Chains A and B, each alone.
Chain A
Amino acid sequence: MPIGQELINTVLQAVLDQVPTMEVKSVSFSPANPREGEDVIARIEVKGAHYVLCEILSDGRLQSARVIES
């Protein structure tokens, strides 16, 4: 079972793989360098006029997801 950043990346990949119409430009995290056991919010900039926020809990659960017009 992956932990930390690896776990976050696995969850994000599972989300983004499902939505191929969203072309990812960049991904940033808050906190920027999450420690193990910390929840994170990933901000995914996609092509077009919107971005995606994914809240990922430390245990790998996707707590929330939102698409917002820039």
Chain B
Amino acid sequence: MLTAQRNERLTRVGPGTPCGELMRRYWIPIRAYAQLLENPVLKVRILGEDLILYRNKKGGLGLIGDRCLHRLVDLQYGIPDDEGLRCPYHGWLYGETGKCLERPMEGKPQAEIRQKLKGYPVRELGGLAFAYMGPLPAPDLPRWDLFVWPNSIRQIGITEIPCNWLQCQENTGDPTHSAYAHGHMFEYVLRQKGELGQRSSDSLHTMHQRKKVGIGIKEIYAYQTEHGFRKGVRYSKALGADSDKEQEHSTVIFPFYTQTGHTGAPRSEYQIRVPMDDTHTYHIAYQCYAAPPGVEAPKQDIVPYYVPPTHDADGKPILDYVLAQDAIVWVAQGPIADRTIELLGRTDIPVVLLRQQLDEQIRRVEQGLEPMNYFHESPAMIHPTGSPPDYSNPDKLNKHAFRKYYHKGFANDDADRYGPIIETVKELHRMIEEFELKRRAEQQQTSEHA
């Protein structure tokens, strides 16, 4: 359990709060760029601030305060101009710094006014619009590998989750939740729907794999890395596991990312838990489907987005895919989990490390130091897992094999099933499987000849 004071410290993200100040040292993904192509003016709420994200007529991006200085009209109804955004009421024009550039009908020459709106830098990378809301100069925008990995196709799943961001992120510091949230609960849900036999007949089905997560645990570990932390479970056959083995869980990228699947795999993903405010999280599932050397991924000009539903038309939660199973337990902890009354156990040791790391990085900012993953100049590509993919061992790339076989029906168990490119992904997975089988046969032939 935490003290009330420490719970506040780790969860609140508004201006001037300890965690809010930490978050303001990072480029924060705030929308899919494709959303701006549909509608060039979007109202956003990030770190407790109401803002307007816009794309001007020349394609430049801006993120400014949401109320016109003049008569306080909400600028979500604004009109993109060559240099900025115009208020729809009297046409006052704002540039990307929030400065008022023009006040039509107020006479000429116009004296510069000292009042301005908030204005934050925005940049695009990998199909996402990123904002930086901290002290200037801004750091460099980190080129995390899935954003720039070649020979890939991508899609972006967006879900607004009505709870504090840390509940979502603590899930990634919790390697054993899968046993129930994605194993036993999955089984329960499929049985209730009458789909258990049909959906989980294959032994590769995630439900079967996840149910084993809690059996035969010898050790639960977590350790800090250059970019976040890694954690996992070591199993012992003597304790009931099917073999002595180690299973690493997803990789945490500080402060609010987690990566599942290895970069370069047929399916990998960043889950990004962007704090909208203290009680809402903008959850981005950034999905990347990479082809190995020898297979060509389809060309993709724009990374499309989609909104995976968490509830059906009757308002009942949809629980038959992995992300929705996570989302329901995050929300079910309350708007901000009251950690003063929680009762952690041994399996929560990685969660404790995650909180400790967060506290340490908050303290660095309080001391005037740069926190982890603050880049003056980003490398051309950053591997949060520490290494590029090993294509000579394709089985290791996707540790959950079902995620490389979406063409065999397994897409149905992930949010990806709702994505606009899912049929293209299935075709890519079919091509990759065909390529791997052919390569394996050739290797076998070569070794037989040798």
Could you list which residues of chain A lie within 8 angstroms of chain B, going by C-beta atoms? 11, 14-15, 17-22, 50, 52, 55, 60-69
A20 touches B343 (CB 8 A): yes
Closest to A19 in B: B344
Residues facing A in B235-257 (CB within 8 A) are: 236, 239
A69 touches B356 (CB 8 A): no
Closest to A69 in B: B218
The answer to whether residues A18 and B1 also contact, given A50-B346, A62-B357, A65-B350 and a CB cut-off of 8 A, is yes
Query: Which A residues touch B217, using CB under 8 A?
Result: 69
* Residues of chain B at interface, number, CB under 8 A: 27
A14 touches B356 (CB 8 A): yes
Q: How far is the CB of B167 from chain A (nearest CB, A)?
A: 15
Closest to B360 in A: A61
Q: How far is the CB of A20 from chain B (nearest CB, A)?
A: 6
In the complex, B355 has a CB within 8 A of chain A: yes
Closest 4 CB pairs of A and B: A64-B223, A66-B221, A62-B356, A67-B346
Q: How far is the CB of A18 from chain B (nearest CB, A)?
A: 5
In the complex, B220 has a CB within 8 A of chain A: yes
B223 touches A21 (CB 8 A): no
The answer to whether residues A20 and B1 also contact, given A64-B224, A65-B349, A66-B220 and a CB cut-off of 8 A, is yes
B355 touches A18 (CB 8 A): yes
Q: How many A-B residue pairs have CB under 8 A?
A: 74
B344 touches A69 (CB 8 A): no
Query: Which A residues touch B239, using CB under 8 A?
Result: 69
Query: Which A residues touch B349, using CB under 8 A?
Result: 19, 52, 65-67
Q: How far is the CB of B229 from chain A (nearest CB, A)?
A: 9
Q: How far is the CB of A46 from chain B (nearest CB, A)?
A: 8
Query: Which A residues touch B1, using CB under 8 A?
Result: 17-18, 20
The answer to whether residues A62 and B353 also contact, given A20-B1, A21-B344 and a CB cut-off of 8 A, is yes
Query: Which B residues touch A17, using CB under 8 A?
Result: 1-2
Closest to B363 in A: A60
- Cα of A18 to Cα of B346 in the assembled complex, Å: 10
B352 in complex: contacting residue of A21, A63, A65, A69, CB < 8 Å: A65
Query: Which A residues touch B222, using CB under 8 A?
Result: 64-66
The answer to whether residues A64 and B345 also contact, given A69-B217, A69-B236 and a CB cut-off of 8 A, is no
The answer to whether residues A19 and B220 also contact, given A61-B360, A62-B357, A67-B346 and a CB cut-off of 8 A, is no
Q: List 24 A-B contacts (CB under 8 A).
A: A14-B356, A15-B352, A17-B1, A18-B1, A18-B344, A18-B352, A19-B349, A19-B352, A21-B343, A21-B346, A22-B345, A22-B346, A52-B349, A60-B360, A61-B356, A62-B224, A62-B360, A64-B221, A64-B222, A65-B349, A66-B222, A67-B349, A69-B217, A69-B236
Q: How far is the CB of A39 from chain B (nearest CB, A)?
A: 12
B218 touches A18 (CB 8 A): no
11 further contact pairs, Cβ within 8 A, besides A52-B349, A60-B360, A65-B349: A14-B356, A18-B2, A18-B352, A61-B224, A61-B357, A64-B224, A65-B223, A66-B221, A66-B349, A67-B346, A68-B219
